[in-house]
Amino acid sequence: MVVVATSLAGRVALKAITPDHRVKLLVLVTPVVDVQTTLLAVHQEDHLDKYLHGNRKGIMNVLGFNIDADRWLGDAIREGYSDLQSTIRDAEQCNVPVILFTAENDAWVPMELVMKVQAALGSRLRTSYLIPEALHRLQENPRKTQAVFRQLITCCVKEFYPLSHDPDIAEPPPREVALQNRLELKRARAQHQMAKTDALEFWRDYLAHFHYIVNSFDYWHLLDHIYRLTGTCDRGERILDVGCGNGNFGMFLMINQAYRRRSAQRIDSKPLSYIAVDFVPSALLKARLNLMNLAEELRAKFPAVVMTRDLIRPCFSLADLNLPLPFHDDQFDRIVCNLVIGYLQDPLFTLRELMRVLSPNGRLVLTNLKPRADLSQIYRNFLQIAKQPEEVEEARQVLNNSGKIKQGESNGIFRFFDRNELGVLLVACGGVQPRIYSTFGNQAYVAVTEKPGTMHAPPTKSSLLPQKRTLEA
């Protein structure tokens, strides 16, 4: 039996295999060697030390998963896998050959600690490989992952069949791997599928804690990226914000319109028509309140600019994006879909709906997390500018929210697309010349595409309103 383990599972495997005589080889791929140091690196907080001093956290995000942190930390201390010294002891007691793969740019595991564990393994360390320019999560770079798998199999063959020459290693074609991945995701989705009422409750709770994200520099950069890709809007354009949540993009849009008018020193642009859509009623009410409060603040700050004419004229619509949209064809000049499509039942169906209601030559801008995104990086960047205890708590709420998303991705409920998949989706829905860029701390993609065709007559003012279930601003 060969045991292959990665990340935190590698630390557990080093302890677990010692009494098991069936195991003949242990392969550790970017293993965590010091849980305490890794927690400090990822969370910027020594959770282990605080636990030992009586600080209790309850349910929180730990290395990407929302768990009972107190129980887990207690287990780590009691069972002896919480720090570097316990890892060294387990390495010294290890009675099987070990093959070790470490990542050159591993922010979770310092190389000097890995070298101490290598020394403790002594002659039991068969081979050690350094993966050049790799991060802790190898799956973020499929080519490096594939190379590690090839080398891993080669090492196993040499270990168990030392007399063989040039072993023939079978490798499945990429299409077969992709089909198998889709099959496994489908099975996971069927097992963990949420009912509509459960989904509503999930997103109500998620959005109730998502307002903290607006204090993150990375998120503001994401909104700015979307805003710039939508292009100049000063002729009364009709903008649809699907999956608007708490109205963050609407607020960003209003702020930018105010500053643009102020810098122009003349007011000749028409107010934008901003239609916000979501299926969580409490989020729509929050979005409406946020835009109203922001409008009051801007009126106080720029009375000459904002009081003369409205910056944007908002309207809020309750709608399920998994169903046909309650709008006429060719209705909107711009459509924004921010961090939404990965959560939908059939992203292509919804994208085709968005393309249907987009005006000919109109522009669609969407964002989606990258597969297996490391959102702890957003948390660490957030903490670098946090100064007050309440700001640190806000950062923790953002990280806890990311754990819910990661769990949904693991369960197959949510799906995030790589660059090629996203491009294929945009072309399949009818978009032309999609452009895709990295954004949100390099953990998401932002894409822009246009709808081809000849412009029709602009819709009347009344047709801009959703056909049903509307909350007027």
Please say if the pLDDT value at position 266 is more than 60: no
Q: Domain holding 283: CATH number?
A: 3.40.50.150
Q: What is the pLDDT of residue 159?
A: 87
pLDDT score, position 105: 87
- Is residue 427 situated within a structural domain? yes
Confidence of residue 19 (pLDDT cuts 50, 70, 90): confident
Range of the domain at 358: 196-472
Question: Looking at the structure, do residues 287 and 313 belong to the same domain, yes or no?
Answer: yes
Same structural domain, 215 and 84: no
> Does residue 435 sit within a domain?
yes
Query: Residue 360: pLDDT above 50?
Result: yes
Predicted confidence (pLDDT) per residue in 150-188, tens digit:
899 988 888 888 877 666 778 888 889 889 988 888 888
Same structural domain for residues 335 and 447? yes
Residue 210 lies in a domain: yes
Better pLDDT: 390 or 342: 342
Q: Is residue 133 in some structural domain?
A: yes
Per the structure, the count of domains in the chain is 2
69 and 172 co-located in one domain: yes
133 and 278 inside one domain: no
What average pLDDT does the chain have?
Answer: 87
Span 380-391, average pLDDT: 75
pLDDT of residue 167: 66
- Confidence at residue 473, expressed as pLDDT on a 0 to 100 scale: 35
User: Considering only 111-115, 224-228, 411-415, which range has the smallest mean pLDDT?
Assistant: 411-415
134 and 212 housed in the same domain: no
What is the predicted pLDDT for the residue at 380?
78
HEC per residue, the chain: CEEEEEHHHHHHHHHHCCCCCCCCEEEEEEECCCHHHHHHHHHCCCHHHHHHCCCCCCEEEECCEEEEHHHHHHHHHHHCCCCHHHHHHHHHHCCCCEEEEEECCCCCCCHHHHHHHHHHHHHHEEEEEEECCCCCCHHHCHHHHHHHHHHHHHHHHHHHCCCCCCCCCCCCCHHHHHHHHHHHHHHHHHHHCCCHHHHHHHHHHHHHHHHHHHHCHHHHHHHHHHHHHHCCCCECCEEEEECCCCCHHHHHHHHHHHHHHHHHCCCCCECEEEEEEECCHHHHHHHHHHHHHHHHHHHHHCHHHHCCCCCEEEEEEECCCCCCCCCCCCCEEEEEEECCHHHCCCHHHHHHHHHHHEEEEEEEEEEEECCCCCCHHHHHHHHHHCCCHHHHHHHHHHHHHHHHHHHHHHCCCCCCCCHHHHHHHHHHCCCEEEEEEEECCCCEEEEEEECCCCCCCCCCCHHHCCCCCEEEC
Do both 162 and 294 map to the same domain? no
Q: Is residue 280 part of a domain?
A: yes
Residue 420 covered by a domain: yes
Q: What is the mean pLDDT of residues 323-349?
A: 96
* Residue 356, pLDDT score: 97
225 and 170 in a common domain: no
Same domain, 102 and 227: no
Instruction: Say whether both 130 and 250 belong to one domain.
Output: no
Instruction: Out of 162, 186, 210, pick the residue that ends a domain.
Output: 186
Average pLDDT of the residues in 92-117:
94
Residue 191 domain flag:
no
pLDDT confidence of residue 465: 47
Same domain membership, residue 108 and residue 85: yes
Q: Kindly tell me if the per-residue pLDDT of 36 is higher than 90.
A: yes
In-domain check, residue 89: yes
> What pLDDT is attached to residue 114?
96
When pLDDT is averaged across residues 130-137 and rounded to a whole number, the result is 88
Q: For the residues 346-372, what does the mean pLDDT come to? A: 95
pLDDT in tens, 404-454: 888 888 888 899 999 999 999 999 999 999 999 999 988 999 999 999 976
- Least confident segment among 88-92, 127-131, 412-416: 412-416
278-327 pLDDT per residue, tens:
999 999 999 999 999 998 898 888 776 655 457 789 999 999 999 999 99
Q: Worst-scoring range by mean pLDDT, 61-70, 349-358, 443-452? A: 61-70
- 57 and 101 within one domain: yes
- CATH number of the domain encompassing residue 50: 3.40.50.1820
Domain boundary at 133, 167, 186, which?
186
